[in-house]
Amino acid sequence: MVFKKGGGEKIALNEIQTVRVYKPEEKGDYYIVDFTSEMSCASPSPFHIVAYRYAGFGWRATEYWTKDNSEMLTSEGKTRDSTDGSKARWCIVYGELPGNDEGGAIMLSHPDNYNHPEPLRIWDKKANGGRGDVFANFAPTKDKDWNLEPGKTYTLKYRLVVFNGKMDAAKAESSWQYFAKPAEIVVNR
């Protein structure tokens, strides 16, 4: 990340993003997208991120989805009208698709992420002139600042479970439990 200070540029933050897309071996009409962001200060100075409504991991859904044919549900039982600003471990975003079909994605926030469970930034049903376009975002700095110290690496991990059809809260919670569990270390002897 480059900032201009006093007419010059200064690199303030290094970030490495990794994206992995795959279809699990088990049967099912879904695939997984893992997103990891590793951030570190680019200088001996700390990097201070001020509280702001957009940050972390977010996505704009298909233009086909509006307030009339899409819904959301969080791990805390919140629906679209009460989701913005709430905190959650996961959020299901789904709706109708062309061809008389349905689908969506579960957004999962890892428990090691800063400010977990993370605040959500969700566009309400009045977004974009009343169309109610869909935008969903885990925003770890929505409600508080974050100070990154030099010499440390800060990691944010998110997962999307992209599915055809419908998804319920029990499957979303199961997906989050699997994502949240510590990785097993395998030692070859």
For position 100, what pLDDT does the model report? 86
What is the rounded CA–CA span in Å between residue 124 and residue 134?
Answer: 8
Grade residue 146 by pLDDT with cuts at 50, 70 and 90: very high
What is the rounded CA–CA span in Å between residue 94 and residue 48?
Answer: 35
Give me the residue label for tokens 């702001």.
52
Residue 107 identity: M
For position 86, what pLDDT does the model report? 97
Does any domain span residue 119?
yes
Does any domain span residue 7?
no
Does any domain span residue 6?
no
Number of structural domains, the chain? 1
Does any domain span residue 21?
yes
Which one-letter DSSP state was computed for residue 185?
P
Does any domain span residue 186?
no
Q: What is the pTM of this model?
A: 0.90
Residue-range definition of the domain harbouring residue 23: 14-180
How many C-beta neighbours within 10 Å does residue 87 have?
A: 18
For position 184, what pLDDT does the model report? 65
pLDDT tens figures, 17-26: 999 999 988 7
Does any domain span residue 3?
no
pLDDT tens figures, 31-84: 999 999 999 999 999 999 999 999 899 999 999 999 999 999 999 999 998 999
Give me the residue label for tokens 């879904």.
30
Across the chain, mean pLDDT equals: 92
* Residue from 1, 86, 100 nearest 43 by CA: 1
For position 8, what pLDDT does the model report? 73
Q: Which residues contact 174 (CB under 8 A, 6 or more apart)?
A: none
Q: Degrees (nearest 5) of the Cα angle 25, 109, 154?
A: 110
Does any domain span residue 5?
no
Does any domain span residue 8?
no
